[in-house]
Amino acid sequence: MPPLRTLSEFLESEIRREYEFKYFVLDAAQFDGEFQPNEGYEPLELLRDQGRTGKDIIGSLIKVDFLHAQRHLSDTTGSRAEELSRHLSRYYTRNLERHSEDFSAIQALAESERQLNQHLEQVFAETLDRLAQLGYPGFANPRLMIKSALNPATVMSNQDGAQVHYALSAENDDFTLPDKYNGLGFKNLIYMVVELLDLHAQWLVIEDNRPPLHLVFVEEPEAHLHAQLQQVFVNKVLDILEEESDDQASFRTQLVLTTHSPHILYERGFTPIRYFRRENTGVAQSSTVLNLSEFYQRTADPSRDFLERYLKLTHCDLFFADGAVLVEGSVERLLMPQMIKSTAPGLRSSYLSVLEIGGAFGHLFRTLIEFLGITTLVITDLDSIHFAPLEEGEVHDEEDADEGDDADEATDEEEPGEALADRRKRKTCTPEMQDAETSNQMLIQWLPARRRIDELLALGPDDKTIEADEAGLGAVRVTYPTTVQLNHDGETIERAGRTLEVAFAFENLHWTQNADNKDLKLSIRNPIDLADLALRLHNKVHAPSFKKTDFALALLTKNPDAWIVPHYITEGLLWLEDILGLTEEDADDQLEVAQA
């Protein structure tokens, strides 16, 4: 034996000699809600029983099968291409022939090719009916049929004896095409269903001591399947398998899907998800498996239902992201790719999930972000407001603030002892107004947990950041407009933008006032002075006539080198780039290695 140079080589070669497997029966009553054993509990070891080892006993309880991602289906012929027709023929040989009477099979082999085709159509009827439940190819598209391709005398033993064809008409079987003329996605779908039926049937034919649980691992079922077909597959596959079962009460098939597809998560919901969070602590590499059903138990409504509905409608890809960027609205979402390219290009090599969440709902993501440990940047607005007393006869109106303030949907807090007649109404204001507060629930309830605008403007980066844990996961940073210096016609003042649009106008003041950029709708005619210009910009952006999405789309038509990204967004993106540990130079190096 060659010398063992490393610990890994030693373990690979000698671990079976140094260690042995032991099997134990666990009592669920002896564990708490976190699956930690009670003090003093010792599980019962499975010993040899009538010549059976612990492995044999477990094998009698659970039958495990695998359907790997490399399914060797191809649109071209070759030594590795295992065509769909071969799989169907093998399935016939191993399983379907047991459903037919022997006399029928003998008669089919003895008669003409036409009669053999009829026999094959009858034998495959159940399978093809189940495939039809998938709703694919769809209305007015070709349907599946089985036709003999070789001598009838060899069809039962030769895997090339039966082939899949596609009938071009529902009424006429005379015009057909071989399976190689259909798409790879459809082949993959049929292949997976047939293989699952094959594995399921092999489990069902076990007569003595059949394991009550059949567990099938399906690796990346989304391969070659478009989004709608992925959803159809995951919705229908269990129904198709259950139709074959003879005793569903005692014998069950369960599927474990390993996937990177947000479309599959969309269909199944979050409760079945087991999230594998990779952790890196120096040279040690490990993964922690998070059970999202536990998250359901920990998180109360309405936050839990809101998160599931929102992510299902928008971004299930959050579960596959290196980092998340939660943004205020559509403007930030539309501009984010260009802002990343301009300020933190290394992030383009990371898998980011950009979620448009608004100031009113950002804090609802806290429990999910903390549970998953996803590195997160929150880009939000200041949303400054002040309170004014209600005039006589005036009714409190929750819509007083501008329509961009989703957070203003909450009612005003009433001080202890405050009479109803003294209730106040909220009004949008500039951040520099004395005693201004924020209506942004993200800033109030999560990070940095402040309400007063002057306090928010005075905070440093550390006050806006939750540091990562020991495994380097779970870091969170919030960024919002802060005070900047404005210079115009020899005047200098300091102001903070209430929203992104105002902050952008302040930091690109000369450019936005240029006549060439009037389509941005940020130009102000004949301001009295710089303070008047700043105030009128604030009022213009917050007027009902200002369309924020139009501003974003107009900005995307401009040369990106002509304008600068507001510094608070630049600050946040650079932080995220640093946390994820991938600069533009690193990304270029990775690209060169991949190309080599």
Most confident of 125-139, 151-165, 184-198, 548-562: 548-562
User: Partners of 387 in the beta sheet?
Assistant: 426
Distances (CA, A) of 229 to 82, 261, 568: 22, 12, 42
Q: Are the C-beta atoms of 144 and 190 separated by less than 8 Å? A: yes
Distances (CA, A) of 439 to 56, 423, 534, 567, 582: 63, 17, 21, 22, 35
Domain boundaries, the chain: 7-66, 67-268
Q: What are phi and psi of 389, to 5 degrees?
A: -70, 150
Does residue 323 have a pLDDT over 60?
A: yes
Give the chain's mean pLDDT.
78
Residue-level pLDDT at 484: 96
Specify the higher pLDDT residue, 267 or 337.
Answer: 337
Count of residues making up the chain: 596
Residue-level pLDDT at 388: 74
| C-alpha span between 525 and 521 (Å, rounded) | 11
Angle between the N-to-C axes of helices 125-132 and 113-123, in degrees from 0 to 180, rounded to the nearest 10: 50
Other residues' Cβ atoms within 10 Å of the Cβ of residue 288: 12
Determine the 3-state secondary structure of 10 from DSSP.
helix
| pTM summary value | 0.68
Give the confidence band of 460 by pLDDT, cuts at 50, 70, 90.
very high
Please, how many CA atoms are within 13 Å of residue 282, restricted to the half-sphere of its CB?
1
**For range 519-538, the mean pLDDT:** 95
The tokens of 151 are what? 């001598």
Q: Is 292 exposed, middle or buried (0-12, 13-18, 19+ CB in 10 A)?
A: buried
Residue-level pLDDT at 30: 93
Angle between the N-to-C axes of helices 102-110 and 113-123, in degrees from 0 to 180, rounded to the nearest 10: 150
Nearest to 47 by CA among 25, 16, 15, 19: 25
The alpha carbon of residue 248 and the mean position of all alpha carbons in its chain are separated, in whole angstroms, by 32
Q: Are the C-beta atoms of 577 and 322 separated by less than 8 Å? A: no
| C-alpha span between 312 and 315 (Å, rounded) | 6
User: Span 67-268: which CATH code?
Assistant: 3.40.50
The H-assigned helical ranges of 363-458 are 366-372, 441-445, 453-458
Residue-level pLDDT at 446: 93
**For range 526-542, the mean pLDDT:** 95
Sheet-wide strand order for 465-466: 352-356, 323-327, 375-379, 476-479, 465-466
pLDDT in tens, 46-86: 777 666 777 788 888 899 999 887 665 655 544 444 566 66
The tokens of 383 are what? 């949303």
Q: Are the C-beta atoms of 572 and 479 separated by less than 8 Å? A: yes
Mapping DSSP onto H, E and C, the string for 35-72 reads: CCECCCCCCEECCCECCECHHHHHHHHEEEEEECCCCC
- Which residue has tokens 């095409």? 177
The tokens of 139 are what? 């209305």
Other residues' Cβ atoms within 10 Å of the Cβ of residue 76: 6
Beta-carbon contacts of residue 325 (< 8 Å; ≥ 6 apart): 336, 352, 353, 354, 355, 376, 377, 378, 379, 576
pLDDT in tens, 369-406: 998 999 999 999 999 999 876 666 555 544 444 434 44
Give the confidence band of 116 by pLDDT, cuts at 50, 70, 90.
low
